[in-house]
Structure 1
Amino acid sequence: MIEKIHHIGIAVHSLDEALKFYRDTFGLHVHAQDTVQDQGVKAALLTIGSSEIELLEPLSPESAVGRFLARKGEGLHHICFQTPDVDGDLQALKEKSVELVDQQPRRGIAGMICFLHPKASRGVLVELATPMEMYKAPE
C-alpha cells in the first residue's frame, strides 16, 4: 500500500509569500505549480530529497483550505503517502469501513489522489497519491 511519504501539505494565505521563504530562503526547487479548480487551491510542490512540500493557497475563503486557514491559521494541513495503486487501496479501505473524504480517486497536483477523513486517522488528514507517471486506470 504505502511506499513513502510523498509530501507534507502546508496551508498558506499567500503562495507567493510562502515561495519566497521555502524556495528563496531554503533553496528548494519548485517541481510543479498549478491551480486545481476542483480543490479550490493554487498549489506548488517543492522538492526536498525524495519527498516534497506542497504549499496550498485557497482560491476563496469557502474552499476547504480557506476554511482550514480561518479555523487554524497557516500551518500543516495534511500528509500524503505515495502508493502504486490508489484505486486498489481506496477499494481496500472501503472494504475495511474506513471513513473517507473521496469515494473515488481524482486528479490532483501529486497525481491521482484521494483523502481519508481525519476521524479515520486520529485527527490527521491523510492523502494517498499515485503519481501520473505510475498511474494505470482500472480496467
Structure 2
Amino acid sequence: MKPTHIEHIGIAVKDLNEAIPFFEKVYGLECYAVEEVADQKVKTAFFKVGDTKIELLESTDPEGPIGKFIEKKGEGIHHMAFAVENLAEKLTFAEEQGVRLIDKAPRKGAEGLNIGFLHPKSTFGVLTELCEDPNK
C-alpha cells in the first residue's frame, strides 16, 4: 500500500469552540480551516504540525458517527489517516488482503480529499482512513 505520510489524526471533541482555543493556546498551533461535512454529520477544524494535520471533529447530529463515538467512548482519538495515491486501487488491495472495508469506493471528505475508511476490526482496533488529493 505504501502511504506517502500520515495525512492527519482525527480527534473527536464535544465542542470546537472549546477545543480550538486549547490547541491554539497550549500547543501554539493555528486553526487554518473550519468546515462542515454535512453527509458525515460533522464539523471539522484543522491544524498543521509539520506535514501532518490534526483534525478536530465535532458532531452536528448525536446519531452521526462522531456523536455515537463520543457517547460510547468519550472525547479522544477517533482515527488515523494515511495519504495515498490511487485510492480506489488501495481500497481494492486492502480488501484483497482480507481487510474489512467501510468504504468500498472513494467518497468526498473534508478539504476536498477523496477518502475511504478501513474497519477497525481489521486494523488492530484503529479506525484507518485513506486519503487522496484529487488535485495531485
Normalising by the residue count of structure 1, what TM-score does the alignment of the two structures yield? 0.91
SS of the aligned residue for 2:104 comes to: coil
Stretches of 4+ aligned residues off by more than 4 angstroms: none
Report what 2:87 is aligned to.
86
CA distance in 2, matches of 1:94, 1:25: 40
Instruction: Note the residue ranges of structure 1 that are not aligned, 5 or more in a row.
Output: 135-139
Report what 2:24 is aligned to.
23
Report what 1:119 is aligned to.
121
CA distance in 2, matches of 1:44, 1:133: 21
Deviation at 1:88, TM superposition (A): 1.3
SS of the aligned residue for 1:55 comes to: strand
CA distance in 2, matches of 1:78, 1:84: 19
- RMSD (Å), alpha carbons: 1.2
CA distance in 1, matches of 2:90, 2:134: 16
1:25-104 → structure 2 map (5 Å cutoff): 25-104=26-105
Deviation at 1:103, TM superposition (A): 1.3
Q: Does 1:133 align with 2:129?
A: no
Q: Give the counterpart letter for 1:55 in structure 2.
A: L
SS of the aligned residue for 1:32 comes to: strand
Q: Does 1:105 align with 2:106?
A: yes
CA distance in 1, matches of 2:39, 2:134: 18
Deviation at 1:33, TM superposition (A): 1.8
Fraction of identical pairs, as percent: 42
Deviation at 1:119, TM superposition (A): 0.5
CA distance in 2, matches of 1:133, 1:16: 31
1:91-126 CA distance string (max 9 Å, x none):
211222310111111111151101000011011100
Q: Give the counterpart letter for 2:55 in structure 1.
A: E
Q: Give the counterpart letter for 2:56 in structure 1.
A: L
Q: Does 1:8 align with 2:9?
A: yes
Deviation at 1:60, TM superposition (A): 1.1
